[in-house]
Amino acid sequence: MLDFSDTSFSDFFASELKINIDDPKYAANGRSKGKRLRNFLRTCDDTIAIRTLEALWEHRSEYLARSGSEDPVANAEARYQGLISRLSGGAAPQRPSASPQSATVDRAAIVKIKADLLQVTALAPHARGYAYEGFLKGLFDAFGLAAQEPFRLRGEQIDGSFQFGSETYLLEAKWHGQPIGVAELHTFHGKIEQKAAWTRGLFVSSSGFTDNGLAAFGRGKRVICMDGLDLYEMLDREISLNLVLERKVRRAAETGAPFIRVRDLFPQ
């Protein structure tokens, strides 16, 4: 089944969907991966079934892209969308009609965003962090990412959220004098793991991240990272934020690395 081994199949369901696919109840008709999946889909509700199929479709698409293989199933996407439509009551979930990279860059908006960033930089340290969060909300809104202002849940502060493609991302924004280390990365990832299985995270640190912190944080997490240099180069070179996020997400899927610099994603 795709490139899944028994172990990676179990890990995929555990990490992406918080489901124990090894539960004996899913093996009533056999222990093969395909039989367990079919039994699971027959017993779960439609909402969970849709989320499972979306996660598997995303994994399948990345697998085919990595391997350079042609799709062996005729009309695979149409059949997939038809199944999603039936499960959702006849109306398939709305997805972007084009790749996120198609978002155009409004030069007037870029000029304003640059000016806003300079204003944040000029503030006193105490006020700078809050203003930085506001700057980022304006940045995401400028690229149509439906940003939400900071909000507080019991026991934790979330700096905001935004919608990218079909995924919801929580935001952590830091303006520190020192690069971010592993402790803060793990703390943010812990917040992500307490939310729905499809939640992702973006950690934006103006001062960057330590090499040791990124190495200790590890690979294969649900977080991608940007630093101040990423923001500067994106704005200076007038690259769409949507395209930057798309490239970061794809490279994270390919390599497991949470942080790839904009200059490496868009070499000149």
pLDDT (average), residues 218-237: 91
Selection from 83, 102, 84, 82 nearest residue 93 by Cα: 84
Structure tokens at 213: 């912190």
* β-strand pairing of 223-227 with 200-205: parallel
The amino acid at residue 124 is A
How high is the pLDDT of residue 26?
Answer: 92
> What is the average pLDDT value for the chain, to the nearest integer?
82
Which of 66-75, 144-153, 205-214 has maximum average pLDDT?
205-214
Domains of the chain with bracketed CATH: 6-87 (no CATH), 100-265 (3.40.91.50)
Long-range Cβ contact pairs of 85-94 (< 8 A, separation 24 or more): 87/46, 87/49, 87/50, 87/53, 88/46, 88/50, 93/50, 93/166
- pLDDT of 202 strictly over 90: yes
Element (H, E) at 149: none
Q: 31 phi and psi, to 5 degrees?
A: -100, 5
**Could you report the per-residue pLDDT of 79-99, keeping only the tens digit for each?**
877 777 777 765 444 444 334
Least trusted range by pLDDT, from 151-160, 190-199, 235-244? 151-160
